[in-house]
Amino acid sequence: MMEDRANILREMKVCRFCLSNEERELSNIYDKHSTETKHSVPLPLQIMACIAIEVFKNDGMPQLICNPCRKLTTQAYTFKTNCKKADDALKVFLVTGQLSKPYMQKVDEMKQIVPFQKPQQPPKN
């Protein structure tokens, strides 16, 4: 039945973006990551901006993302944001003759994002 499959899809323990089922790599798309601040762009918005897939909680799709895809998304978002800043600065140069170098976030900074630590897991001792 179609409805059964819809339920299976929603509960599926796979990464929505690569279908990996490596369980310890998976985390909820909508849970705030420990390294995110209130100023961080939410992951669903980063996904929308980079890969043009609209992702929302009740869309009936798997709710999980793997660490590699999380990292790639954040890197892609950083790259896109940097490109936009450069483009804006170049356009400002056209108008004003001033080329100011905007702050570019290093993609390497994203290394801190992985591995994802599930907040509910107590540390092993």
Which residue ranges make up the annotated binding site? 15, 18, 66, 69
Q: What is the DSSP letter of 59?
A: S
Q: Per rule CB under 5 A, is residue 20 in the interface with Zn ion?
A: yes
Structure tokens belonging to residue 33? 């990551």
Binding residue positions for Zn(2+): 15, 18, 66, 69
Please give the torsion angle defined by the CA atoms of residues 42, 81, 50 and 11, in that order, rounded to the nearest 10 degrees.
-20
Contact pick of 6, 8, 9, 18 for Zn ion (by CB under 5 A): 18
Q: Looking at 69, 73, 74, 77, which residue binds Zn ion (CB under 5 A)? A: 69
Examine residue 15 and tell whether it contacts Zn ion (CB under 5 A). yes
If one asks whether residue 47 binds Zn ion (CB under 5 A), the answer comes out as no
Instruction: Determine the Cα–Cα distance for residues 17 and 115; give it in Å rounded to an integer.
Output: 17
Take residue 54 and report the two structure tokens written for it.
Answer: 């609209």
Q: Which residues bind Zn ion (CB under 5 A)?
A: 15, 17-18, 20, 66, 69
